[in-house]
Structure 1
Amino acid sequence: MKRGVTLILSLMLALCLVQGAAAADFVDSVADVDPASGDLAPGEQVIVHVIVKLTGSGENTFDTNDELEAYTELVDPEWDYTILVNSQGIPKHTTSRYVRLLGWDLAYPDTNEVSVDYTLVGKVPTVTQTTDVALFRLRQLDANGNIPSGGELLIERTVINPGDVDKIRDLREEQITELRASIDEYTALGVNVAQAEQLFQQADDKIDQSKTASYSQANVLLADAGTLIEQAEASLEDAYAGKLIDDAQLTIDKVNSDITYFINNRSMSGDTRVTAIQNKVALSETQMSQAKDFRDNKDYYQSRLNANEAQLTANEALTMSTELRKNIGEGGLLPDFSGLGTYVIIIVAVVIIAGIGFVVYRRFTKWDELG
């Protein structure tokens, strides 16, 4: 029993020690970089200003067994740093990549306010490929080199390899050439390319500007150009799908006009040929609706497929309606009787027979009157 209690107490003590070592003894209160944003190019000067406030460990402002290590990957670093105790301190200077401060230099009674003010000036290193570089890294390290939770502050920035920028520019020039060809092709098809043309010009201007800009600026310009090219390509696809939909709609409207003529002007609402045309145009309208939905969802390929199908179906309906109008003629004031077939023949025969019978009857009646 006594061994069990001892074991539990030992575990609790170990947990307390782990928790005590798990928390960092500093927080950053200032972290500024100049340039403030964007990618960097080799040789570019960078200024980093960081102030960390020591938050304490036990009764001291910092753990005496730990150390505070600042590091940079910048070339030719110039460090100016000051340990401030109640806003007072002596500035120090170094050109090393590392600035290490021992815990004994940072541990003051926790009634004091202690902070460390770092100012770093350096140049961006040359890189063989575009990658992230540590401009400033601050770590709290214990005697074993371990870092407590929250015990690291890292400021990174992407550094551009000039060769990568040149490759991107070559790619953008290929893309802009292909875009020019697509715009010309769609123009020949009667597609409205006004928006794509405007985006093309903006992208082309940015590619030209990148040729005389710094590598970091060129990288931004070329990224913008890539976005504009993508927008122009999407605009072309949208405009092309829209044209196919509009063309099919014109054919559908023509067929519907013929159907209205057959029903209202020629009284052919029950004619099977008119019904067949109505069914055909209804299918075309369904395909048209699907084409519009795909276009709204930016699925331009499928939209074009459905619009083409709608056009083909509408063309078939138009051919049927055109042939029917030709067969029935203009019609004048009389309704069209074509399509009634056998019924018309029977009716005509009955009328003729009735007419002949009436004439014969009148003759016999006249003879009787004459005696």
Structure 2
Amino acid sequence: MKANISRWIILLLALVCVVQAASAFDVKTATVNPASGDLEPSQEVTAHYVIAYNMKPGSSDDESFDFSTGLRDPAWTFIVYRDGIPIYTTEKTGYYPSLGAFELAYNDKVELDVQLRGTVPKISSGEVEIVKLEHLKNKHVEGDPYRMTRKVVSAEQVGSSLSVQQQNLKTLKADIDARAADGVDVSAAQAKYDAASKALTSAASAAPSKAAEYIATATKNMDEAKPLLDKAWAEKEVSDTGAALESLDSKINYFVENRSMGGDPKVVSIVTKRESAVQFYSQAKDGLSAKNYQLARSKAADGLNKANEALSDADALREEIGEGFSLGGNLLLYVGIGVIVVLAIVGAVIYRKKTRWDELG
């Protein structure tokens, strides 16, 4: 039992040590200028950090705060505040300054004010480390280091990215125009296209870091335009299928209600095709609801094809039973009536002439 208690005490002490190590410092504020966006080579950068920490004097440990930066020509200013009053200031240069316990260890509440100035290297791998802070004790890192980085973009990178996005914009415009020609409502996608086009125009004349922001804005708008265009296209296809089914239902109703042909094999065939079209139409609407626009278009196309087959059959049947809109089988009737009318007129004329002759004779 005592052995178990001893183990628990050791574990608790170890946990306390871990918590103390992890909380040896706390970065209360971190300010970088420029405040946002990508950096660019040779750009000037300033950074300001306020760090609360706990480092007691008189300790035999070799304890320090080690800083580092990827900025070129870095200049550092360190100020120790005790109860809000500056009590120690030092300035350093170089990429790896260090502050030891003799500079930092105090019993009272203390904070370390860090000011850094430097420039972004001319050659960068896409990211630069603004600052890194490690708490070392007996040459071992305690807790988690603090690290701040920023992306770096060059004029060459911006130029390449701009070219790619300009081509993507052209492709998007072609897709929008193609859908508009098909009668699709492209207004939502067009608005996103206009915003992207404006951003890329601004990027073409901006500095690299600002141009990168414009390109990101344009890319976002183009990415949003694509599903909007797909949605509108799918809605149009589904709507066309629904309209075809409404027309088909009207024609089927004529055969069933007006002509009592519900049992006719040709009407049954038309109804069967109609049911198949309805199934595709239902699947298309489900795809639309699930935002699976490609599936919605595919099923709507299948439904429309099947509905059009049934419509063609219905038109053919209506002509067959003498209810079509063309002259068709009624042509002879119309010709016969015309002949009778002409003969009647000719007969009337002859009769009038004969009567006139009889009167004169």
TM-score by length of 1: 0.77
Distance 1:320 1:38, change over 3 A: same
Match of 1:81 among 72, 78, 81: 78
Determine if contact 1:78/1:95 at 8 Å carries over to the other structure: yes
State the Cα deviation string for residues 300-348 of structure 1 (Å, max 9, x = none).
22222211111110011111211221222349xxxxxxxxxxxxxxxxx
1:215 paired with 2:183, answer: no
Q: How many Å apart are 1:51 and its aligned residue? A: 1.4
236, 243, 253: which one aligns with 1:243: 236
Q: 1:116 aligns with which of 97, 112, 115?
A: 112
Shift of 1:64: 4.4
Shift, 1:137, TM fit:
1.2
Unaligned runs of 5+ in 2: 325-361
Q: Could you say which residue in structure 1 is the equivalent of 2:178?
A: 185
- Segments of structure 1 that go 5 or more residues without pairing to the other structure are 332-371
**2:132 alignment counterpart:** 137
Question: Following TM superposition, by how much is the alpha carbon of 1:229 offset from its aligned partner in structure 2, in angstroms?
Answer: 1.6
Q: Percent identity?
A: 29
The 5 Å alignment of 1:36-185 reads 36-56=35-55, 60=57, 64-86=61-83, 87-109=85-107, 112-131=108-127, 133-144=128-139, 146-150=140-144, 152-185=145-178
Moved segments of 4+, more than 6 Å: 8-15
Give per-residue Cα distances to partners, 1:91-124, cap 9 Å, x unaligned: 3222322321111222223xx1122111112222
Letter in 2 for 1:138: L
Change (3 A) 1:30 1:61: farther
- In the other structure, the counterpart of 2:359 is none
TM-superposed deviation, 1:54: 1.9
Q: What's the CA shift for 1:61?
A: 9.2
Q: Secondary structure of 2:319's partner?
A: helix
| AA partner of residue 29 (structure 2) | V
Q: Deviations over 1:107-149 (max 9, x none)?
A: 223xx11221111122222234422x211111111223x2112
Q: How many correspondences in the alignment?
A: 319
CA contact (8 A) 2:38 2:150 kept: yes
Give the Å deviation of 1:185.
2.2
**What secondary structure is seen at the aligned counterpart in 2 of 1:148?**
strand
In structure 1, what residue type is equivalent to 2:182?
A: L
Asked if structure 1 preserves the Cα contact closer than 8 Å seen for 2:281 and 2:300, the reply is yes
> Given the superposition, is the C-alpha separation of residues 16 and 247 from structure 1 closer, same or farther in structure 2, using an over 3 Å criterion?
closer
